[in-house]
Homo-oligomer: A and B are copies of this chain.
């Protein structure tokens, strides 16, 4: 059995030694250990992968971990068993490139998740859901029917026991109610290198400003628009010879790759959020 353990707590001497001893005593073989200390914030972070025997008593391990380590050091921690696929809902609007990219990775087994459904405020991408045999829910979203739509979303998410949500160019603000239920569990792709060009039409803004580089940013969604913890960013060069249409076309390739990388990191339990920032163990 393989476990991934994520820890963060205030920085104190002896944590690494205590944790590794504990694993060792429980006959675990550490196959990966990475740690980080944010000295300004005084916070310690650790990610650890360890292999155990098949008949390893997981529940007892968790109890002991809690009593011997977590309480002592004031840890926030999680233990994740390898091979259990998280349930990922995808929200889309009308653009299909990020959706196709996620589904083709899913279909080829590269992305180890279950996808209970795709949700959209438009009916346009139903045909892609059909291509891949995934349920597609069309949930219109306008001011008038906002509360109904929110409730429909929450019902679907609960019903399907969804673990996290990917906004694959979902051109709609996610309701605070949904964010509350999925804190740091909604991954968005924004089509600029944030914090530049937050909000609507970033390619148009970038074109107007005459930048020589455009980018894409995946981040966890928080209540403040495009201001959540950044998971991954990438850029590509542009020049005066590129039109806004060219920006959009070049950007599409960035968006899908950057979003997929973020989803991979999340699924592999390689992200920890604190102070509206991320620690990414890669």
- List A residues at the B interface (Cβ < 8 Å): 13-14, 16-17, 20-21, 23-24, 29-40, 45, 96-97, 100-101, 104-105, 107-108, 110, 131-132, 193-197, 209-213, 215, 229-235, 239-241, 243-244, 249, 252-253, 257, 260, 275-280, 282
A240 touching B108, Cβ below 8 Å: no
Q: How far is the CA of A23 from the CA of B20 in the complex (A)?
A: 13
Q: How far is the CA of A64 from the CA of B233 in the complex (A)?
A: 46
B36 touching A110, Cβ below 8 Å: no
A29 touching B17, Cβ below 8 Å: no
B97 touching A104, Cβ below 8 Å: yes
A234 touching B213, Cβ below 8 Å: yes
B14 touching A240, Cβ below 8 Å: no
Which residues on B sit within 8 Å (CB–CB) of A209?
A: 194-195, 230, 277
Q: Give min CB distance, A196 to chain B, whole Å.
A: 4
Query: Among B30, B31, B38, B211, which residue has its beta carbon within 8 angstroms of that of A230?
Result: B211
Query: Among B105, B230, B239, B260, which residue has its beta carbon within 8 angstroms of that of A210?
Result: B230
Which residues on B sit within 8 Å (CB–CB) of A231?
A: 212
Which residues on B sit within 8 Å (CB–CB) of A29?
A: 13
